[in-house]
Amino acid sequence: MYSASVEALCDATGAGPRAGSKVAAAIVGARRLAEAATREVLLGQATDTNTLAFRQYLVSRLGSRREECVMLLFFTGERLYIAEDLYVGGKRAEIRIPLRRTVRRAFDLDARRIVVAHNHPSGVPQPSASDIAATTRLCAVLEALEITLDDHCVVSGNSVVSMRAMRLV
């Protein structure tokens, strides 16, 4: 139910359209509160992508999603969390990192560091060749603009694989 669409939630209630949409709205509101609560682990201290808390955060945000999503996390030069953007959709076997939007958003936020995370609904958390190519391209663009790509994490279920730990970033 957590990652279900609003339409699926309305259908699942078995109530009429009005009652179903109210229940769905309440569930969506509860989701947003839960996301805000889990995000607190990132606030006020330097973030390291190797920590259990950071990995649990990624699993909570991406692990149960059925569609491929890309999440961009923006940080200061001191690794303090600023914001995140989530892009839903794309091909099942390939991620699309919106380069222009990423750069624009980083400049708007005055971000100096970025972490990319995306999920593999297939259940295999290993980066694909297209994941590695997209990361290499993003890294080159960001490096030219003096922004550091700290890591690219692949999430599948409860597993998180760091491309930095694999020496791919």
CATH number, domain 46-162: 3.40.140.10
Name the pLDDT band for 1 (thresholds 50, 70, 90).
very low
pLDDT in tens, 72-129: 999 999 999 999 999 987 655 566 788 999 999 999 999 999 999 999 988 888 999 9
* Inter-residue contact 34 to 1 (CB < 8 Å): no
pLDDT in tens, 20-60: 677 767 777 766 666 666 666 677 788 899 999 999 999 99
Going 123 to 124 to 127 to 129, the CA torsion angle's sign is negative
Beta pairing, strands 148-156 & 69-75? unpaired
Name the pLDDT band for 159 (thresholds 50, 70, 90).
very high
In sequence order, what are the beta bridge partners of 117?
A: 71, 153
Residue listed under structure tokens 């200061």:
76
pLDDT of residue 72: 97
pTM, entire model: 0.79
Where do the structural domains in the chain lie, given as residue ranges? 1-42, 46-162
